[in-house]
Amino acid sequence: MQRYTEAATMTSPGVHAAAFKELPDGVAAARTIAQGLIVHEHLTGAYGFELPDERRATVHIRPIAALIDRVRAEDGRPLTQAREPANRVAGDCRHFTVLTVAILRAHGTPARARCGFGGYFGTGTFEDHWVAEYWNGERWVLADAQLDAMQRDMFGVGFDVLDVPRDEFLTAGDAWARCRAGSADPETFGLSMLNEAGYWWIASNLIRDVAALNNMEMLPWDAWGGMLKPGETPDAEQTELFDRLAALTLDPDASLTELTARYATDPRLTVPGEVYNAVLDRLDVVSS
């Protein structure tokens, strides 16, 4: 569990370490801070404004230190002071999640990002999504750091978003295992706004989740290694790999030795120095 209390490549606050130490402790406070600094790029209309294209660059920032650089460049007030929605930096579910994880780790709370699918967005499907997973002293708890009061009302979410039920958010490995067992349909896992879904999407999120469990929280559209191409059907060898990864990620603490070893030695899993940014259709240096 110690590995999830330490800052890593994406969760390190860098020059903002002292400021992070001064932030209030606890998952509720961390979530509130993230919501006051970030606005989801595709939900700005719900907050009464349209996001100019020139402000979308921040959604491609990976390290939290660089994201906070941008926050402070635009507004030098303390991080605890919520910005108006139109003045927040643009991000997505992954940015809310990783910032929340970074704040929790700065206070010694074990926390990690999980990549999977949320079934609570009113589309009737499980949508590509990230949440934080934190240790509350007794168990690992899922927390959706993106959903503020407005979004909870908009999506009709009635559960505690700081303790998301495990059947409302499925990690990628859980989604894969359920589909393989025949208890879920792979065509209900993807991103409905793109009209894309299927085993290929679940498999790619599974590799992202393995990377996140190894403290490399990549962008939702970063592609590398063994990820399947859109619409690609996994062959027998690929299916065997994803079956095993799903089993490992269902209980990552019990499987940590194998999970870390596979990530470190299998080029299909290890995040390389450059990844393909599918949104911008280019290769990106990972540290950017």
For residue 288, pLDDT beyond 80: no
What are the pLDDT digits (tens) for 70-103?
A: 999 999 999 999 999 999 999 999 999 999 999 9
* Helix, strand, coil % over all residues of the chain, rounded to 5: 45, 15, 40
pLDDT of the residue at 287: 85
- Residue 286's pLDDT band, with cuts at 50, 70 and 90, is very high
Residues 6+ away with beta carbon under 8 Å from 139: none
pLDDT of the residue at 40: 98
Report the chain's mean pLDDT, rounded to a whole number. 97
Using alpha carbons, select from 235, 123, 192, 171 the residue that is nearest to residue 179. Answer: 171
- The total number of structural domains in the chain stands at 1
* Mean pLDDT, rounded, for 2-17: 96
Provide the residue range defining the domain that includes 69: 2-285
* Mean pLDDT, rounded, for 93-114: 98
For residue 193, pLDDT beyond 80: yes
Pairwise CA distance, residues 32 & 22, whole Å: 15
Pairing state between β 189-191 and 126-135: parallel
What are the pLDDT digits (tens) for 37-48?
A: 999 999 999 999
pLDDT of the residue at 1: 78
Q: Are 114 and 130 in contact (CB under 8 A)?
A: yes
Residues 6+ away with beta carbon under 8 Å from 145: 30, 31, 34, 35, 96, 97, 99, 100, 131, 132
- Residue 246's pLDDT band, with cuts at 50, 70 and 90, is very high
Q: Are 14 and 63 in contact (CB under 8 A)?
A: yes
Pairwise CA distance, residues 11 & 4, whole Å: 10
What are the pLDDT digits (tens) for 171-182?
A: 999 999 999 999
Q: Are 253 and 238 in contact (CB under 8 A)?
A: no
Q: What percent of the chain has pLDDT over 90?
A: 99
Dihedral angle computed from the Cα positions of residues 173, 130, 114 and 25, in that order, rounded to the nearest 10 degrees = -160
pLDDT of the residue at 59: 98
For residue 170, pLDDT beyond 80: yes
Using alpha carbons, select from 218, 280, 219, 209 the residue that is nearest to residue 248. Answer: 209
Q: Are 71 and 90 in contact (CB under 8 A)?
A: no
Sign of CA dihedral 178, 182, 183, 186: positive
For residue 3, pLDDT beyond 80: yes
* Mean pLDDT, rounded, for 271-288: 96
pTM of the predicted protein model:
0.98
- Residue 139's pLDDT band, with cuts at 50, 70 and 90, is very high
